[in-house]
Homo-oligomer: A and B are copies of this chain.
């Protein structure tokens, strides 16, 4: 998206849905760490969740997918809508910053522009393995980076809340849906998926009991291969049983870690 398109579109009520934004909390997992992809638009003093507006030709899910794709280069990531945010004060205190941002890129926003007005944000979260991602800096981002969920920078608007809620939703969903498919390589080891769950839930899980429960769901299956990890016993490789995984995604499961 270049300046021309941005300029013509944000001002053109025929293209974008007014007063509605989509924010997408992109979670990345790698090496036992959970991070969030954040951006800092030009001249912004604080960071924001990746987000954008909704074209009238697309669904909110498509908008969220586009946002994820624009920033990660990956299409069709796992996307989950978890809540919408809307109240008079959520952007109020920082509208001046938004205005300055548009000025800094050479666009004068009319005072009554919907961009500076009451804004409803439909929030999604996305999961990905962040070593697979080549972060894409958008034209008007001064910075874009992965931040550990436990050490976030100062956030704009209510975005700290949005991230906190996204994390809560993820932690809740992990008990009912087979999280992991998007966060791990195709073939992974038991210790790897074990660490993933520990990281997301932020607590230690007995490895023997974890394995027992995970295997009882049937969504992962053991392969007849091992991975060499140096001077230690080689762990077996596992992969998701896509068939059962999809069923579990649709019908839900019940894990009690």
Contact surface of A with B, Cβ cutoff 8 Å: 17-20, 54, 56-62, 81, 83-88, 114, 117-118, 120, 122, 172, 176, 252, 254, 256
- Among A18, A86, A122, chain B packs the most CB atoms within 10 A around the CB of A86
Which secondary structure dominates where chain A touches chain B? mixed
Contact B114 A86 (CB under 8 A): no
Contact B120 A17 (CB under 8 A): yes
Residues of chain B lying within 8 A (CB to CB) of residue A254: 256
Question: Measured between C-beta atoms, what is the minimum distance from A198 to chain B in Å?
Answer: 20
Chain multiplicity (copies): 2
Provide a sorted-by-A list of 11 A–B residue pairs whose CB atoms are within 8 angstroms: A19-B20, A20-B86, A54-B86, A54-B118, A57-B88, A59-B86, A60-B120, A61-B87, A81-B84, A120-B122, A172-B176
Q: With A117-B56, A120-B60 in contact, is A84–B87 under 8 Å at CB?
A: no
Residues of chain B lying within 8 A (CB to CB) of residue A87: 58-62
Bound-state CA distance A143–B103 (Å) is: 51
Bound-state CA distance A114–B81 (Å) is: 24
Q: With A18-B114, A19-B19, A20-B19 in contact, is A88–B60 under 8 Å at CB?
A: no
Contact B59 A17 (CB under 8 A): no
Question: Measured between C-beta atoms, what is the minimum distance from A118 to chain B in Å?
Answer: 5
Question: Measured between C-beta atoms, what is the minimum distance from A235 to chain B in Å?
Answer: 31
Bound-state CA distance A60–B60 (Å) is: 18
Bound-state CA distance A85–B81 (Å) is: 10
Residues of chain B lying within 8 A (CB to CB) of residue A81: 83-84
Bound-state CA distance A88–B88 (Å) is: 26
Contact B56 A118 (CB under 8 A): yes
Residues of chain B lying within 8 A (CB to CB) of residue A17: 19, 86, 117-118, 120
Q: With A83-B81, A256-B254 in contact, is A20–B88 under 8 Å at CB?
A: no
Bound-state CA distance A41–B57 (Å) is: 28
Contact B56 A86 (CB under 8 A): no
Question: Measured between C-beta atoms, what is the minimum distance from A252 to chain B in Å?
Answer: 8
Contact B120 A120 (CB under 8 A): yes
Residues of chain B lying within 8 A (CB to CB) of residue A114: 18
Contact A120 B88 (CB under 8 A): no
Bound-state CA distance A64–B28 (Å) is: 34
Contact A59 B88 (CB under 8 A): yes
